Amino acid sequence: MIFLGNNSGTAPANIFGPFNFYPVINTIGGGATVSHTSTGNLLFYFNKGDLYDRNYTPMPNGKAVSADTTGNTTQGSCIVPVVRDPKKFYVFTLGGANGLLAYSVVDTALRSGLGDVVPGQKFIKIDSGFSEAMTVTEGCKGYWLIVYNKLNASFYSYKITSSGIDFNPVVSAATYPQPPGSVVSIKISPDRRLLGLAAMTGSFVAMHDFNTKTGSIINARLIDTGMSSAAGFYGCAFSPDSRRFYTTAFNKKDIYQYDLTQVTTNAVIASRNTVHHDTLAPGGMQLGPDGNVYVALINTQRVDRITNANDLFPGCVYGQDVPLNASSVVLWGLPQRVPRAIFQRADSAFVSVKDKVDCLNQSTVIHGPEGMAWYRWQDGSRSDSFVTNSSGVFWVTAYDGCAIFIDTISVGGYSSYENHTVRDSICPNKTLILFHYRDLDQTGASWHWNTGSTNDSLTISKPGKYWVIMNNKTCHTAIDTFDIKGIFTSYTLAPDTIICPADTINLLAGSFPNGTQIFWSSGDTGMVTKAYNSGNYLFDAVYHGCKISDSIGVAEYPTPKIELGDDTEICYGELMRLPVNDTSANDDKYIWQDGSTERSFTVAETGIYYVEVVGHCQIARDTVEITVNPCNIFFPSAFSPNGDGKNDIAHLMGDIANVKDFELHIFNRWGQEVYGGTDVYAGWDGTFKTKPAEMGAYYYYMKFRYRGKNEMKKGDITLIK
């Protein structure tokens, strides 16, 4: 079952037909549900800080399992199966003013199958300081839970295995031209190679490389920066084949598609197409179990979907064809995907099932390895066992959720048996043909290799152990084992490097076994050659008759380029961050007009601003004039309650005479409300319990009616002394 928003939901079994609705969810962000993997029946769900069973009643121990009691967090909850325990689930929650990550454990066997939170495993706090982004994906032997820490601009990847949750996350720094703030969505691609991010604050879309083995997230690159005005990106989703990426632009009311098969980042940026423009603002996105991408249309009674999502626009089709009933309203979010259950086993690539020697024509049952997710026998059958009435060789392929296991079983009474071992070696990127032992009669013979091949020979390209079973019509069996060693298995290639224009550098090919000969494309021999300019320097390494061809890339430090943009105007009380465009290196030095050396400068007053960027080899400069003017209506991003009569109060500004039904709440990082009021002319004076509040970031949430239109705003405001 999938819940879609306020008082609405649908069963995935009906994804192509009539929709059944369940008026039980009441949340602004996406809820979380989990269903039985085979029947599709609801097991339990999370709603606005509490857990409910399949009968839509609260679990006795399921109250207050989240710091977010409003249901306002973008990706505020997700459900993850406990590894190797199909009855238990982790419920991860995220939210509150300080971005608190916590978890609880639900056992669906409790309360006669209705389920409840396990005593002592409720609302266990993990860490805080996170944005509203959270996602989960399968990893070898378990899962990765991924969140973004906005305090230190890093992704935190928590490993979940049969041993539980590893509370020491893999931390991957990910900095952007502007901090993404709190309102962020992240998704892992179906092939588990990429992590996509959509940020409303800063209005940008970023792509990263994800390593499912280590949990590390690297190579952050922007693929959209919101065009000339803030697009306000909110939701995101990958296509089923991981080759396309979709985002929703809240402010521009657009749905975009990006082609991730493009070779360069600039090409990905240029590939963006507008799949759909609506009169309503789009919110969350989610790839469904049917391969369609679903889109939440805020404050509507329908969910849109993109079919043929693998195809480039206009091949993908945007449809407004998922209506909800009259009492259901979709808000911002869609539910998180529940990952499949993991059956963990050892790392071995093969399993040993004992050969059976039975009388001919006797029914024999062969059992595959236990605890696998699926099985496939030589005849295509999918049971965990195989029944045969004759002798012969049988094999099974099985998958445990992490690795493929292959085994061959011999059944019958053969009159003779021979076993041979052959040792050989193979060069990298070369092939080797393996032949079975040929002394036995080949008449009517059959061959069964451990790779699944049934040919009388096997062509390989990698070292390892291979074996073949040969049976002939005279009931002779021979098993040949091939132990193939690799040459050039231990060496280190030198990394690419970077130089200033006109510099000369000595390039070292790398670290190779003694006796390795190096031949450079320049004609040099030996481990070292000189590089006089940028380019790829090719070389061949030859060792024991095996050759490796590689290259070392030499690049030049880029010319620092800084653009403060055109002279512009901003609203009174609004802050503008410079620069507008920055292609300088991360270690370039900055000097602003006031002597500060940060990479960015925040403008709040009218004036002329300039910066000098000192690169490795060159210097870049730019100047801009900023004019501060009054605007219609806005809420400041910072204020300074120091009694100087300037920005002492945090309150709504502009055309507030036309604001009705106003309500404002401000929270500190611990989730405590420091201010609440309904007077649009009043605001927070920077005190808490009659004492000056601490400097730092605070979270605000407000709703009001402006010129006949309902509005809701949320974000961060910084208290400066």
Which domains does the chain possess?
Answer: 2-323 (2.120.10.30), 364-486 (2.60.40), 492-556 (2.60.40), 562-629 (2.60.40.10), 633-719 (2.60.40)
Burial string for 256-283 (b: 16+ CB within 10 Å, else e) reads bbbbbeeeeeeebbebbeebbebeebbb
What does the pLDDT read at residue 1? Answer: 38
DSSP state of 314: T
Structure confidence at residue 78 (pLDDT): 93
Extract the tokens encoding 111. Answer: 């309360």
* Residue 492: other Cβ atoms inside 10 A: 9
Structure confidence at residue 360 (pLDDT):
45
At residue 635, the pLDDT reads 87
- The predicted structure's pLDDT at residue 10: 38
Q: Tell me the C-alpha distance between 260 and 268, whole Å.
A: 6
CA 348 to chain centre: 28
Task: Output the 3-class SS for 624-693.
Answer: EEEEEECCCEECCCEECCCCCCCCCCECCEECHHHEEEEEEEEECCCCCEEEEECCCCCCECCEECCEEC
Map 224-235 to HEC letters.
ECCCCCCCCEEE
pTM: 0.51
Measured distance CA(52)–CA(249) in Å, rounded? 33
DSSP letter for each residue of 539-580? EEEEETTEEEEEEEEEEEPPPP-EE--S-EEEETT--EEE-S
Per-residue model confidence (pLDDT) at position 353: 45
Helix (H) or strand (E) holding 106: strand 100-107
Give the model's pLDDT for residue 405: 67
The burial of 161, by beta-carbon neighbours within 10 Å (0-12 exposed, 13-18 middle, 19 or more buried), is given as middle
Q: Tell me the average confidence (pLDDT) per consecutive run of 10 residues in the chain, 721 residues long.
A: 38 34 58 81 89 93 88 87 89 90 95 95 94 87 91 94 93 85 88 90 90 92 75 90 93 94 92 93 89 88 90 92 68 78 45 44 67 76 82 76 68 58 78 73 78 88 85 71 79 82 82 85 86 86 84 84 80 72 73 86 87 84 80 83 88 86 94 93 92 92 87 89 79
